[in-house]
Structure 1
Amino acid sequence: MSAPDAKQLENAHAFFKYLNVLDWESLGELLSPECKHQYFPASVSPPDGKEMRGKQDFIDIAKYNFEVLFEKFNFHAPLDVVHGSDKVVFHLKLDTSLKSGTKYNTEFIITLHFDGEKIIKIREFVDSKGSSDFITALMSEAQPPA
């Protein structure tokens, strides 16, 4: 494995580390200024209605979710990690609950695409049934930022 590939894998793991500790500045440093986040599958519309967002929008929605909506959250150790040319794919589980007590335990696939050492694209594939049920509950409790 070449040095850039090793750094990509390190940065991919750091992505979740920074989410877990709410370190938005360090998370932002991992992302390219051109970074785009996409939410899949198309049948599940995210609460803010944006299927694609840029770097700052991604950080803002993550910050809102983890600091305002969620009481606690825990990204489990990856169930699977696939490291390819300029991308790292994670199969993960997440346990969380809203401040209201509504629990949300899910699993998802996230692909981080790299340009050098920076994340240029995030493709998040969610559990469609679990996410739909959770988004319905979420919409009845809180309104996401515009």
Structure 2
Amino acid sequence: MTTARRTATPVRLTLCEELGQRVDGAWWPHTNRLATELPELVGVLRGRLGEVVDISVNWSLSENLPDLNSRHWQNKHQHLMAITGRDATANLLVIPSLTPSTLAGLLLRIAAGLSLTEAHQDTPLFRTAVEIVDAARADGAPKVPAAAPKERRRRPARS
């Protein structure tokens, strides 16, 4: 009998109900070492996307994640990651690990189109989170592919 592997720290991820947007949700890794957390992310996404066959990003290895703790994020493009599975693609806003939890929580919800109370929406932090997600939607499209029709995403089986 095989048991599912459980991580010590849960994957912090949100996804839109319907994929195919420029931003389909967000991922908030626990550290800035994304490669160490990537297997867990892929494992969580497998149920929604199918077997993951491609991952692409809109930044270079030498580029740091934007600092969302200050307004300096406005001078940098947001980091997006396209995870392509056999059945679907998800374009994720990557939230820097050092982002304060209140802002990160808002970004996770807004990026996935999840509802928020009016009390949350009537704050400067909410407006900042909306600006960040809007910047990601406008900024990341050229390098991160939007979800393609299912027929175009499928890759031939290797023999």
TM-score (norm. length: structure 2): 0.30
Q: Which has the higher Rg, Structure 1 or Structure 2?
A: 2
TM-score (norm. length: structure 1): 0.32
| More strand as a share of residues | 1
